[in-house]
Amino acid sequence: MNTAKNNSSELLGNAHYVAQENGPNPLIANSEQGIKEMVEQPHVDGIEDHLVEFSEAITTVSKVLRRAAEGKVSAQAEAAEWKRKYEVERERNLQLEPKDLTFTEHKGDCSEQQVGRDSIQHLQPMPDTAKTSQRCCGEHGICSHEVLRESYSNVQCKITKKASFKLQWCNITDKDDQHKHDIVSFEKGNITTAERSSKQISLKWESPPQNVLILTKPHSTSVKVLCAEMVRWLKEKEKLNIYVEPRVRNDLLTESVYYNFVQTWNDEQEIWRLHEIVDLVVTLGGDGTVLWAASKFKGPVPPVVPFSLGSLGFMTPFYSERYKECLKSILKGPMSITLRHRLQCHVIRDAAKSEYENEGPILVLNEVTIDRGISSFLTNLECYCDNSFVTIVQGDGLILSTTSGSTAYSLAAGGSMVHPQVPGILFTPICPHSLSFRPLILPEHVTLRIQVPFNSRGHAWASFDGKDRKQLAPGDALVCSMAAWPVPTACRGDSTSDFFHSIHDGLHWNLRKTQSFDGPPRES
């Protein structure tokens, strides 16, 4: 009987705990009252065993109720934490969202002759006007403002008129130019994707392009000659407005005053507004020139036409000898493009009081590398994926690469070659001090955080597309995710054929002598 009373006392305590956690509950209150009445009844011989069994059963029920109360409290705490994270992410997105800018024409005449003498510096921002609503520009395609998130402005001057376009999922087997949607169907418990593998992305101009930006490889005589020839041809034959870098404009004017019509910019603030003026970007150089062109655009990027005049050609499929034929076809459209994803990086220092105090965003087209720099110690990096612990990197460093950068540093470190339109992030260690540490390919929606632990024996260094090295001290972290603004590059054929041509021609991939035939002689 004493055991029953002890169990009953414990049950009363459990009932009180559950009542305190969940507030007044009729079921728990009735159970508590019933237990109290049962305990206060006088002792009756012969029912002690049944009372013990009953009290044990009630104790089990009380434990279940206790667990339910604890689960409720835990769920409420988790919900509050998710709400906090949502608010933080929402505030961050609002801060990173570029503001809409509108331009007004330069005072005075805005004729073609005057435009030839004026540069971007004449375009001054005016007070914000009513934002135009974004609408889909076609039922069978992806609007330019949806994929590239272009922001269009009310423009009066001819020079700032943007050419509109839309992207379409096209089937290379279609002969009647009917573009099909990427269909995902659910039938009888089976999920299927229709014809995804046969589709490429096509860009079709809805209005002719007017403004072209030409970016060149520096310190190359052949590039200078080609640039001058291309500028003259685009102006005289295609009647386009030409923009170049200040360095290139000075070189052109040194050669001849004829190139006075070429326009440029004066400061970084004007570079931020290039995407609202330029319709097409032409690069003359190698893959490094494409990286340089992408770095000029911190937001939306116009279509890029890369001509091969460098040592690497993974992203430069066009031959400079046939530039007139290529540019005529591209200006007329449509053209196949490759959407090359970029990574968005932020450096958060240990002394930062909140996540908003960071260095960034920094956009990279190839990769961000975290290495040990000049230190002789192995790097010690804690890696997290969406707040889940992944591993600790001990070695020379780590590479976070886009699929476009899979043929660059990541490949040299043992990573896989990935088609550039595959949406993903490559996680490649550099000389890891573990034989089982193999590269990973992560989905595009994840957020990676690489942190230098406080007990690290040295500093780490982060570089972005091989530039802008930043020191990471113990406690500092690098946060990396997929950027919203891809880089659309024109294809000579399509994205798949260009990719295989680049690895065959640039890397001589799987090139070997054919095995000789040593079989039995043929019968006559």
Rounded Cα distance, 87 and 209, in Å: 41
| Three-state SS sequence of 291-325 | HHHHHCCCCCCCCEEEEECCCCCCCCCEEHHHHHH
Q: What is the DSSP letter of 105?
A: P
- Residue in 49, 118, 182, 287 annotated catalytic: 287
Rounded Cα distance, 397 and 431, in Å: 7
CB 387 within 8 A of CB 371: no
CB 23 within 8 A of CB 71: no
Q: Which of 270, 272, 469 has the alpha carbon at shortest distance from 364?
A: 469
- Which of helix, strand or coil describes residue 347? strand
Rounded Cα distance, 357 and 452, in Å: 18
What are the structure tokens assigned to 83, written together? Answer: 């709400």
287 as an active site residue: the answer is yes
Amino acid residing at 397 = G
Rounded Cα distance, 518 and 520, in Å: 7
Q: At what angle do helices 2-22 and 48-96 cross, to 10 degrees?
A: 20
Q: What is the DSSP letter of 97?
A: S
How many other C-beta atoms are found inside a 10 Å radius of the C-beta of residue 503? 15
Rounded Cα distance, 485 and 342, in Å: 7
Q: What is the DSSP letter of 462?
A: E
> What are the C-alpha distances in Å from 86 to residues 92, 93, 363, 515?
10, 11, 23, 60
Rounded Cα distance, 398 and 346, in Å: 16
How many other C-beta atoms are found inside a 10 Å radius of the C-beta of residue 234? 21
* Distant-in-sequence, close-in-space partners of 253: CB < 8 Å, separation ≥ 6: 259, 260, 262
Q: What is the DSSP letter of 130?
A: P
Question: Which of the residues are catalytic?
Answer: 287
